[in-house]
Structure 1
Amino acid sequence: MVFCAGWSTRARLHAAVVVGLSIMVSAGCGTDSRSERVDLGKLDTGSYATTPQDPKAADATVRARVIEALRLGNVMPVGSEVDPALTHNTDVAHVFVGKNSFSGYLNVEHFDSDTPGFVTGFATEAQAPAEAGRYSLDNAVMIFDSDAAAAKAAEALARTGFDLKDDERADLVSLQSDRHPAAHIIWHPKKQNLASWYPMGRFVLVTVINQAEEFYLQSYWNAAPAPAPMALADKAIDVTADRLKSFQPTPPDKITGLPLDPDGILRLTLPRPEGDRTANAFPGALDKHGALHKADEPEVARALFERTGVDLVGYGAGELVRTRDSAAARTYFDTAFIDKFQHRIDSPPGLPNARCVKYHGPRQSAFPFTCYVTFGRYVASVWSQQQQDVYQRISAQYAILANDK
């Protein structure tokens, strides 16, 4: 089971924050939603909730594992903190409570048998632009129920290794790091893929590096294979291990006791309907650092978060950002949602201060409709395949905020 597979894609669609710029400046942009006269009774909210609701868990164990992974995401480094050239986040499943192939590089056929005692994991992926060589780093941490289980899993996962054809396995090389001799490292020079599994207490630090540009040079220009990127792998382990010093994994017998909404933002976030696939695959929240994992350009997002005092982001049938105050929310609203392929459409009936757009661009996986609105210190965004549905979602999200007492 894999969660959050679409975060990075959606982040690029409408959260590519660029500080200092603003799109579609027109009547209503930058106004405080509370200053507009909105008759909640006239909003079309469909079957969506319109009042704050405490989150509930259909499967308490799975939900607890997701919450533990989100806690982990709040301390893990984004790619640019490992290597400044890794400026853009890319597609990867962030929270995972089952097999994760890390962008398809790893063989997951034996994942369950390789990982007894696995609790949860958090993964993030970043990529360097073409001018820097276009290489990517998948960086993840897996939590196990014991140190012994983590150590055995690291060895087993390395043994299963890459997803390769039989005739490709002959080129596989085992490496050892001088800095981290306990790491299990494999390298495929022809494909320019490196993977490392480093056990550290109850954790396994997973590093997957793909040197796409070098692979292209070999394939099409018969270039000599580049050396294994050991320095980047070592740096990923170093930075991640240092961040984990501040993280205390929850004892396995206590994990179901983790609070569902400790900061109170999920009760204000539009709930995701059962079976809905147009939003994140779980309700959850990340702090201002954790939310950087899903921004297209994390360092640009970090600057905007600091500027507007963002401290928390809730995810459900949409996304709810909590800023410092209403003025900061207006600044975020007028700055954050920039995409040249988004074109303004009418606001929903009865909610003139919502900003709605339709996507016209090259990404086939893009959601065609997105709407944004502010209320007090909050900025909400929702997206859908259907215009009426996105209107109902943003109207319901506004009603939830307005009905909070």
Structure 2
Amino acid sequence: MNGKDSRTMRKLMASIALTATLIAISGCGSTVDGYAMPGEIDVRLLEVGKYPTRPLSEYSVFSHSFKSGRTLASMRLADSLVLGQEVDPKLTFGSFQSIDSDTPTVMSKAVLPALKPNRMLYGFATGNSDMKEFSAMSLSPGDESLADIMRQRKPTYFGLTVMQFSDAAAAERAAAEIERLDFDVAADLNVRVSLDKYPSAHSHWRPGIASMVSTLSHGSYVLNVQAGVPEPEAKGLTNLIQKVIDAQLQRLEKLTPLSPVEVVQMTSDPDQVLERTLNPQKLGIPDTTNFGSYGLQGFLQTRRDLSIMQDSYKKAGADRFGRSWDSYLIRTRDSDAAQTLLDEMFIGDTYKPTHAPDKLPSAKCAENNDAQGDIKRFSCVVQYRRYVAHVQSHQLPDVHQRAAAQYAILANSQ
């Protein structure tokens, strides 16, 4: 082989080697799904059953609409609503409801005519009591027999509904009309009340009944507060209502109202926590209960017992939470904080430890001794870097698959 042929052969071999390298690189690029970083498990080996292992954006695209925007604005408002413990340390049992339609069920039918004509945009209702078996939301508007039964338990509680209207004038009209319509339901029994600290508030009660309601406007917002104490005593009721208003107005001062256009433009997952949360339903439509992103304050609004884990969340620097169909995800300060938070989960008499998935050493699982309502029999938590995720099911094999799928989603979201 002469020199020219030799040089030609060397170039050909180099070209073949380069091509082979590019093919190998391309091949590796096509199979990175679940690729394990040093010290991490290979998620391709996990038993995930039917559950998705890819981030939400790969199978669901959010579409802006006024309906979805109202729900998202309601969640945003939840992050600025007062919690019971800020009013009275013993008010640790919560309940909530979003207001993303013109006919919210949390409001009495009698007052609904005051909402749409005054261009109510959205709202959020929260309730807190000192009794686990009592929910402020159980005082169904217009159901006096149920309300009487619930009051016989002699709770201390408040129910707070905050709604944003199109402007301050509309809010002021709505507050006055809500009071008028509510008062007229039993005008012969109700008595008007004046709050010393808030003379512009519209308030009334029914002597002999241990509850009172007050409605006032504040800029574009309307606050509707119902409070109850063990005995029908006006001073105790007015004091509690004023404490609720005091605490809530401080928070509303920091919340800029939204225009209708801004409501439509609301983003569903600005911090990408829902992107990383197990979504068995594969649904990306905002839903206050089942699918939403919250800050710590808003997430606590959705928890029944405010005394559980609240201090642990704060210590871990937990600042964003994703709720997604029986799963929720917590973003903490860093991986060390996430590990500490995971270690503090499932502590107490409510839980009985049970075994975790064999191939998922980061998981921790427990059986819930108080499974009822939306609390399933089995729960597992997994940690990946700065995130901690919680999944649940009535079946142990199923909760193991959910935990594995959730871990895979976290790994595949990097």
* TM-score bracket for the superposition, by shorter chain length: 0.7 to 0.9
Give, as a single letter, the amino acid of the residue that structure 1 aligns with 2:51: Y
Question: Which residue in the other structure is 2:208 paired with?
Answer: 190
Q: Given the alignment of the two structures, is residue 323 of structure 1 paired with residue 332 of structure 2, yes or no? A: yes
Q: 1:135 to 1:56 in 2, by over 3 A?
A: farther
Match of 2:88 in 1: 83
CA gap 1:311/1:34 in 2 versus in 1, 3 angstroms: farther
Match of 1:63 among 47, 68, 85: 68
Deviations 1:220-250 (A, max 9, x none): xxxxx42251111122112211211111112
TM-score, normalised on structure 2?
A: 0.75
* Unaligned runs of at least 5 residues, structure 1: 1-32, 215-224
**Greater CA deviation, 252-261 or 355-364?**
355-364
Q: Distance in 1 between matches of 2:209 and 2:64?
A: 40
Question: What is the TM-score of this pair, normalised by structure 1?
Answer: 0.76
C-alpha distance in 2 between matches for 1:352 and 1:139: 43
Per the alignment, in what secondary structure is the counterpart of residue 400 of structure 1? Answer: helix
Measured against aligned partners, the alpha-carbon deviations of 1:141-192 in whole angstroms (never above 9, x if no partner) come to: 1111222332232233223438x9x8x7743222222322222212133331
CA 1:311/1:361 → structure 2, altered by over 3 Å: closer, same or farther? closer
What residue number does 1:177 align with?
195
The one-letter code matched in structure 2 to 1:371 is C
Of the structure 1 ranges 326-335 and 174-183, higher mean CA displacement relative to structure 2 is found in 174-183
Larger radius of gyration between Structure 1 and Structure 2: 2
User: Is 1:50 equivalent to 2:57 in the alignment?
Assistant: no
Correspondent of 1:237 among 239, 245, 249: 245
2:370 corresponds to 1:361:
yes
Cα deviation digits, residues 34-80 of structure 1 (max 9, x gap):
88763422333334321223363366222211221222222222122
Structure 2: unaligned runs, 5 residues or longer: 1-35, 133-153
* Alignment: residue pair count: 353
Alpha-carbon deviation of 1:346?
Answer: 3.0
Report 1 or 2 for greater relative contact order, CA contacts < 8 Å, sequence distance ≥ 6: 1
The reply to whether residue 372 of structure 1 matches residue 374 of structure 2 is no
> What displacement does 1:377 show?
0.9
Equivalents in 2 of 1:303, 1:37: separation in Å?
29
Q: CA deviation at 1:83?
A: 2.7
In structure 2, do the counterparts of structure 1 residues 288 and 361 end up closer, same or farther at CA, with 3 Å as the change threshold? closer
What SS class does the counterpart of residue 403 from structure 2 fall into?
Answer: helix
One-letter code of the match for 1:125? G
CA–CA separation in structure 2 for the residues paired with 1:309 and 1:190: 46
Q: Percent identity?
A: 29
Bigger shift: residues 148-157 or 64-73: 148-157
Helix, strand or coil for the counterpart of 1:122? Answer: strand
CA contact (8 A) 1:123 1:138 kept: yes
Cα distance in 1 for residues equivalent to 2:386 and 2:209? 48
Residues 179-258 of structure 1 mapped to structure 2, 5 A cutoff? 179-211=197-229, 213-214=230-231, 225-228=232-235, 229-258=237-266
Give me the whole-angstrom Cα distance separating, in 2, the residues matched to 1:129 and 1:364.
17
Aligned partner of residue 96 in structure 2, secondary structure: coil
Give me the whole-angstrom Cα distance separating, in 1, the residues matched to 2:354 and 2:187. Answer: 53
- In structure 2, relative to structure 1, the CA distance for the partners of 1:381 and 1:365 (3 Å cut) is closer
Which string of whole-angstrom CA distances, capped at 9 and with x for unpartnered residues, describes residues 2-39 of structure 1? xxxxxxxxxxxxxxxxxxxxxxxxxxxxxxx9887634
* Post-superposition offset of 1:97: 4.0
**Alpha-carbon distance in structure 1 between the residues aligned to 2:68 and 2:371:** 35
Aligned twin of 2:294: 286
CA contact (8 A) 2:129 2:156 kept: yes
